[in-house]
Structure 1
Amino acid sequence: MAQILIVDDDKHIRNLISKYLGGEGYSVKQAGNGIEALEELEKNDYSLVVVDIMMPEMDGYELTKKIRKHYQLPILMLTAKSQIQDKETGFSLGTDDYLVKPFELKELLFRIKALLRRYHQVAEMTIKIHSVVINKAAYEVNINGSTILLPLKEFELLYYLASNANRVLSREQLIQHVWGSQYDGSDRTVDVHIKRLRERFTKITDDFSIKTIRGVGYVLEVKK
């Protein structure tokens, strides 16, 4: 069951949305401001967050920025503002969709379903290792909000190692999966790409490491 967090300083709106979504089979919790929302996100796993822009203490823009820095989940922004620059600000900070008040609860439901479906499809191509997110849909690596773009073969090698985390893979397995069975070059290519991956990631994260298993191949070990 998807769990949704409603963040709005208007208690009436929170209760209205919560009751409606609860009737549609969702588990719903509430937060009255951005600070409460961040506390909730630390305590529970949520599938989606509905965020109002105009709130005291921490507005929806700032909350969206903080959510994007630490979590990979869809954000639907609610606002009374309809100007294009406000929408532009929301999308630039990482919101996934935008709904202007007043709105129909049915439209809110349709948008939530679409976002959850889209994120589910992406999640199937995403590997999360603590603060590291390897996204094959976008061919990018995200670490604590920072995006790293790798050359194609480096990314595919990292993704395959991560999808088989803590499992030793031979050079032959890596070549066949990443370069293909028709590859007729040297298996030293694997060593070169492994070296580049180590150089890139050793300095910026200790969530995982790529170890050499002498005479066999390599393993991506996840920090416990």
Structure 2
Amino acid sequence: MTRHVLAGAFLAVLATLTVLLSGVLGPEVQGVALLGAALGGALGLVPDRTPGQRAAAFAVGFAAAWLGYLLRASALPDAPSGRAVAVLVVLLVCLAVGAGTRGRLPLWAALLGAAAMAGSYEAAYAADPSGFVTTSPVAATAVLLTAGAGFFATALLGPTVEHDRAVEHDDAPPPDATRARPSTRTSEPAAYRPFEPAPEA
């Protein structure tokens, strides 16, 4: 538990520093500090596949979301139908990579990457779709910086989390396979009593 607290405290400090240093890192960092740190922290904590595989899947999802915005800016109509097609393309790319690698690049990590790009850039894109070429790199850099800090703070804790869950599983009481079944035995017969004639009137 101590390691969990230390990792969480380290993550909080890194996220706070990125906000305080936004004058150097760029003002966009302030708006995505919590988003990036939370997604990066989750990416580091979940003990599914190696940290490198998780980071690679995150990058794939991030790139897929960026591709979705590129399609919206260059080829798709600025309407619900265009946004729907972009969302479909992004999710299909994430799914294809997860299935194509047989889970070596986990789908959940790719979805985190897509969420990072969408969460950090959707508002800026909606405000100025024509500025995609100049605004998307800024948003991408800001959220990747904060997500990287979150991942760095928690990535080494993944094996500990996995070990703790295994210990909890081993310590859990086994399911009761011998539950009490309804008794099929009949009640004990009443004690024999000899016949007693009724008293005479």
**TM-score band, normalised by the shorter chain?**
under 0.3
Greater relative CO, 1 or 2 (CA 8 Å, sep 6+): 2
Question: If each structure's strand is expressed as a fraction of its own residues, which one has the higher value?
Answer: 1
Give the TM-score normalised by the residue count of structure 1. Answer: 0.24
Whichever structure has more helix as a proportion of its residues is: 2
- Scaled by the length of structure 2, the TM-score of the pair is 0.26
